[in-house]
Amino acid sequence: MTNWKFVKAVNENEEFKIEGLNIWNHYWHCVDKKVEVKGPDNGNVYYFKEYQIEGNDKTIRFVAGEFIDSSVGIYLKDDLSEGKL
């Protein structure tokens, strides 16, 4: 199971780059429809989707979903929990 860490809550269309790619400039291909993540403030559980974007010969995966305040929560793989760092 992949662990995801909260990175930022952004407004829709607010520039947000992952590895140099602005996520809003690319088609989001859904690769997993139900990913459990914890909210940044109080640890509430959310079920968001995992997406994949492609550009500059890169494939980027992230989890995103809408919080109650209409901001979009962005989560990236937590490499520390997977022993990659």
User: What pLDDT, on a 0 to 100 scale, did the predictor assign at position 81?
Assistant: 61
What average pLDDT does this structure show over 11-15? Answer: 92
pLDDT of 32 > 70? The answer is: yes
User: What pLDDT, on a 0 to 100 scale, did the predictor assign at position 83?
Assistant: 56
What average pLDDT does this structure show over 24-45? Answer: 93
User: What pLDDT, on a 0 to 100 scale, did the predictor assign at position 23?
Assistant: 96
Q: Are 11 and 26 in contact (CB under 8 A)?
A: no
Residues in Cβ contact with 38 at an 8 Å cutoff, skipping those fewer than 6 apart: 6, 44, 45, 46
Provide the residue ranges of all domains of the chain, joining segments of one domain with +. Answer: 4-77
pLDDT of 84 > 60? The answer is: no
